[in-house]
Amino acid sequence: MTADLSLTATDTSPAADIYRQLRGLIVSGQVGADERLPTVRQTASDLGVAPGTVAKAYKLLEQDGLVISRTGAGTRVAPEAAVLPGPVLRRIRDLVDDARAAGIDSADVVNVLRVVWTHG
């Protein structure tokens, strides 16, 4: 896996933060089908969290059908992991580019997107 993870200061648990980041990388196609995720121990060491925290995040991804974990073979992105359609990804990237150029905080963009998604 080539993408870097980092913990952010949020009101959610570190496991939820790791889960959200990995889920985003998978559904955006940045981490491809059959690509191996780092080991639980490696990810925990990289992020400075307990291995159980990372294991919980990986378990949530597995429950979503996004990864497959096998003893001895590690954790890999499922071949059928859902990737957002290209046009949707392009519009999201355009939104991010526009927001960055305008100096808008990412949390504000995410919150507005949630409101628009929920309330139309």
Q: What is the pLDDT along the chain (120 residues), one digit of tens a residue?
A: 545 666 655 567 999 999 999 999 999 888 888 999 999 999 999 999 999 999 999 999 999 999 999 988 899 999 888 788 878 888 988 999 999 999 999 999 999 999 999 997
Per domain, the residue ranges of the chain are 14-77, 86-119
| Alpha carbon separation from 93 to 20, 82, 114 (Å, rounded) | 18, 18, 16
| Domain made up of 14-77: CATH architecture | Orthogonal Bundle (1.10)
- Which ranges constitute the DSSP H helices of 1-120? 14-27, 40-47, 51-63, 86-101, 106-119
